[in-house]
Amino acid sequence: MGIASVDEIKVVLADILRCEIKPEDLPKSVSSCSEFTTGRRKLRPEQKRLCCPSPTVVPDYNKFDVSLLYTLIRNLCPQLKPTQDWGKTPSITDLQVGDDIERLRVFRNEMFAHLDSSCVEDVVFTSKWQDLEQIFQRMQTFLNTKGISVDYGMKLATIAKSDFGFEDMEKYKIILEGILHILKENDDNSGPSITIRGNDKIFFGEKTCFEAVLDRCSHSNNWPITWEKIQGNITEQLDTSKEKYRGSSSRCLMISNVSKEDEGEYRAVISRENNGTHIKIPSNCKRLTVIGDLPALTMPKEVEVPYSSVAVFQPVIQACPPPESVEWQKSKCMDPISEEFKSINFNSPKYSGSTLDPTNSRLIINETTFEDSLFIDL
């Protein structure tokens, strides 16, 4: 298992990288990748020397370790992106090349659990070895279709028949421990990642919530989270203490009574100082779409009817979504500026025939009197 994890996985990943990026093109690809120059996965000096040795020297992929090969493929080969994304364990039905690259990563990491023993149980060995053979076979097929001739099956068969002693086991144990240390260091340096989820299509007037989910971040790190809204080229940091966002927390953005003004893209951002450097990690963006708008209501400004006749008010309501209820009110005095209104009691015979149906609301005043010369509001 050790030699397969250390040597053959490295050979396979080197072949995959060579298939996607020619060695002579690697320095340019690395230099143009912001993740490697200033980002979270900035290459260490020794890694950069391997990738960009000098203008006259072509990088030798055979000298790259597994960690570096995986990092280069992950960041420079978007066409190989796994079904579940990088760093995620593929499901059994995910069979793209990127999925198998992730399986190799998982395989190698799982094998570290057996480093305290000089052997692997037969049942575990057989299962893992069969998985490895299938992965290598699919990768071999992929490379063959690209015009690269490889035979991983023969190499694995040779390894399986080899007889390794205690000294061999110790050698590969040391190598694997070194790789594990490098991987852990990379994971620590990369810091956490953050994604947000939530309903991004909301009816006008309702409320919505976006939830932030952190990965690769222990609670002790205590990374502060802020929320931002993006409209075009303008990014606004939201003040979640405002009434609009009442109920929000660092992990949850609540937006109450949404309107068209709330449309835009939202994201969460984690940030902190690390060794004098300000690190800012944004999440994915969720675009909030508000369905509908402020309801429009049209009703005649004045209705003249003879004394003791019938007055009918039939408003036109335009709203999306449709209103759930309506209420009729009348003013308490004759002053048109007054905002004092009271609800109309539809149980009174005076308003017989009226309806509060929000889709067809109607106010009927039977046998009008001078006392009805007030202002009506819906």
Q: Where residue 302 sits, what CATH number does that domain have?
A: 2.60.40.10
Contacts of 186 (CB under 8 A, 6+ apart): 41, 67, 71
Average pLDDT over residues 178-194: 56
Among 236, 263, 291, which residue terminates a domain?
291
Cβ(117)–Cβ(8) below 8 Å:
no
Q: Are residues 184 and 207 in the same domain?
A: no
Residue with tokens 């004092």: 340
Among 244, 276, 291, which residue terminates a domain?
291
pLDDT over 70, % of the chain = 73
Per-residue pLDDT at 336: 54
Q: Are residues 261 and 320 in the same domain?
A: no
Q: Which amino acid is at 64?
A: F
Average pLDDT over residues 323-347: 75
Q: Are residues 26 and 167 in the same domain?
A: yes
Domain span at residue 277 reads: 193-291
Per-residue pLDDT at 245: 92
Cα–Cα distance measured from residue 66 to residue 179, given in angstroms and rounded to the nearest whole number: 8
pLDDT higher for 39 or 210? 210
SS3 170: helix
Per-residue pLDDT at 220: 42
Average pLDDT over residues 265-272: 86
Per-residue pLDDT at 86: 87
Q: For the chain, what is the domain count?
A: 3
Among 257, 291, 325, which residue terminates a domain?
291
Q: Are residues 48 and 186 in the same domain?
A: yes
Per-residue pLDDT for 346 more than 70? yes
Per-residue pLDDT for 78 more than 60? yes
pLDDT digits (tens, 9 = 90+) for 206-261: 889 999 988 765 544 567 889 999 887 788 999 999 999 999 988 899 998 888 88
Across the chain, mean pLDDT equals 77
Q: Are residues 14 and 156 in the same domain?
A: yes
pLDDT digits (tens, 9 = 90+) for 111-160: 543 444 444 555 555 666 677 778 888 888 888 888 888 887 776 666 55
